[in-house]
Amino acid sequence: MKPQRLLVGGLLLLALILIVVLWAVPRLSRSSTLSGYIEGEALYLAAPVAGRVDQVFVQRGDQVSAGQRLFVVDPAQLKAQRDQAGAEVNTAQAQAADARKGQRPVELAVFDANVAAAEATARDAASTLRRIRPLVQKGIYAKARLDDAQAAYDAAQAQVAAAKRQRQAAALGSREDQIRAADSRVQQAGAALTAADARLADIAPTAPGPARVEDVFFQKGEWAPANQPILALLPDDRIKLRFFVPEPAISSYRLGAPVKFSCDGCQAGMSAQITYISPRPEFTPPVIYSREVRDRLVYLVEAKPSVRLNPGQPVDVQPIGAVR
């Protein structure tokens, strides 16, 4: 019985030693670096209207600069709308300018002729009144004849005054409210022109900044549905370094702080600036560029690298401070 007990005790001791080794070795051999990778957020560009792809100016893998043309979707219809809006602006501006002017010289000449005719009638009425008044005073004509001549003279004078007022009004522009209405039509037409220009620009977008063409989904001559991406860009400023920091060390990381990292075949001394620290912990993702499987809580940290790298490339990040 004693040899059996010794055998059982030895097996238990051996099992205990094996458990300790399995627990301690991974922790003793754990790397001092943090595992991460390069992530790129693609920018998908599309047209807001459906149409035939008229031109594609780039190919997959091209490097583009800010403002560089990328593609054009059939512009014929929107160009026509833009030209129509431009014509409406010109019309509204001409009407607003005309509202501030008086009538044309030929039209003013008609009013001048009316004034002259009214003055001639008034002179004739005055002459008749001067001729009849002494005859009425002598009793040759009845007093009613003088009253008729006086009424005709007064009416002729009133017609002269009315004709002159009409001439003055014709020389003026439109009323203030009519001028304001004309100016409002100019603004309305200008807004329609701006909208037409914006729609025309939407079907021919340009690169918002330096980027690499990740993929081209439609080629020249193909029909593209509205809001369907025609190509994908990978902007330089949307490439970032992502790595995971153990929970005990997260307090050492701050936004804007620099971190050093390395990757296979890359130059030495590369660095990145931290732009994001996750506010929530998570368990180590099961699929990650890592030298071993970790089962502890980590925080996602993102940083902007100082050099351009390829998305998906694994990197090793030098920790900030020591893990407690």
Per-residue pLDDT for 4 more than 70? no
Beta bridge pairs of residue 45: 231
Is there a single domain that holds both residue 99 and residue 176?
Answer: yes
**Same domain assignment for residues 185 and 270:** no
Last residue of a domain, one of 159, 193, 227: 193
Higher pLDDT, 71 or 195: 71
Give per-residue pLDDT as tens, 78-127: 777 788 878 888 888 887 777 666 556 666 677 777 778 778 787 877 88
Q: How far is CA 112 from the centre of its chain?
A: 56
Ramachandran region, residue 213 (left: φ > 0; alpha: ψ -120 to 50; beta: rest):
beta
User: Mean pLDDT highest for which of 10-14, 47-51, 97-101?
Assistant: 47-51
For residue range 133-146, what is the model confidence (pLDDT) as tens digits?
Answer: 877 777 777 777 77
CA 71, CA 85: separation in Å to the nearest integer? 24
Q: Are 36 and 245 in contact (CB under 8 A)?
A: no
Query: Which CATH number is 313's domain given?
Result: 2.40.30.170
Q: Do 95 and 181 belong together in one domain?
A: yes
How many domains would you assign to the chain?
A: 2
Amino acid 263: pLDDT: 87
Based on the domain organization, do 97 and 189 belong to the same domain?
yes
For residues 182 and 96, state if they share a domain: yes
pLDDT digits (tens, 9 = 90+) for 247-299: 888 889 999 999 999 888 888 889 999 999 998 887 765 555 454 544 467 88
* Amino acid at site 183: D
Residue 320 reports pLDDT greater than 50: yes
Query: Looking at residues 29-51, what average pLDDT do you find?
Result: 83
Q: Lowest-pLDDT range, 26-35, 46-55, 114-123, 231-240?
A: 26-35
pLDDT for 322 beyond 60:
no
On whether both 270 and 183 belong to a single domain, the answer is: no
- Provide the residue range defining the domain that includes 269: 30-40+236-317
Query: Using 50, 70 and 90 to split pLDDT, how confident is the model at 29?
Result: very low
Residue 246 has pLDDT above 60, yes or no: yes
189 and 240 part of one domain: no
Q: What is the pLDDT of residues 196-241, one digit of tens each?
A: 787 878 888 899 999 999 999 999 999 999 899 999 999 998 999 9
Which of these three, 160, 193, 226, is where a domain ends? 193
Tell the residue number behind the tokens 């920091």, with chain if given: 245
Residue 23's H or E segment, with its range, is: helix 2-28
In a domain, 188, yes or no: yes
